[in-house]
Chain A
Amino acid sequence: QKEVEQNSGPLSVPEGAIASLNCTYSDRGSQSFFWYRQYSGKSPELIMFIYSNGDKEDGRFTAQLNKASQYVSLLIRDSQPSDSATYLCAVRGPGTYKYIFGTGTRLKVLA
């Protein structure tokens, strides 16, 4: 089992819809969770981070964390074609400087 798992996609949603991206992790002691967006040929850029159970909202983005079930999700409301990218989930474990990344989910927003 991979430490951080994401569905590789592509996930296709129509413009204006809600895109839901999911990530599961294996280390129950993981502390911090990050969502990065990566456009083709570019470097990852931070979208959201969360470390407490529940929801965290920032504009059109909502991160949801459920530590009991060991999953973290990212919701993108009112999806735009410019949201088309690969979304990387990253998890920071306890007592470590390491970040473990999932393989990413490719999102395609159809105009």
Chain B
Amino acid sequence: NAGVTQTPKFQVLKTGQSMTLQCAQDMNHNSMYWYRQDPGMGLRLIYYSASEGTTDKGEVPNGYNVSRLNKREFSLRLESAAPSQTSVYFCAAHRDRKFYSNQPQHFGDGTRLSIL
């Protein structure tokens, strides 16, 4: 049981290049999330998907797009990478789709992305 799997683990891009970060979960969880983590900034929500077929913006969505391909997969795309998008990206999954769930999120191992 892998939980939440992110690929790739590391990536270096040049400014202006595009890239898709992949996330897949095998826990049959309903909600999925993409965060970025920068030094001193904590985890900031980029996009989330409460259920298959729905996506919503988080705190820092500019420069990113997402696709909830099916219940298992939630991808994050950088259309034209910028140095400000250098960060560690985490995908997370959450079991319930209820608004008032007390369940925690479970995280993948992260993708370390550098943009030159």
Q: Are B104 and A97 in contact (CB under 8 A)?
A: no
User: In the bound complex, what is the Cα–Cα distance between A31 and B107 (angstroms)?
Assistant: 21
Number of A-B contacts (CB under 8 A): 56
From A12-20, A71-79, A99-107, the one touching the partner chain is A99-107
Stretch at the interface among B16-24, B62-70, B78-86, B94-102: B94-102
| Interface check B61, CB cutoff 8 A | no
- For residue A95, which residues in chain B have a CB less than 8 angstroms away from its CB? 99-100
Asked if B53 is at the interface (CB within 8 A of a chain A CB), the reply is no
In this complex, the interface size class of chain B, counting residues with CB under 8 Å from chain A, is 20 to 34
Contact B99 A96 (CB under 8 A): yes
B93 → chain A closest CB, angstroms: 12
A105 to chain B, nearest CB (A): 11
Verify if A1 is at the interface (C-beta below 8 Å from B). no
Please give me the 6 A-B residue pairs with the lowest Cβ-Cβ distance, nearest first. Answer: A103-B42, A101-B43, A43-B107, A32-B102, A46-B104, A101-B42
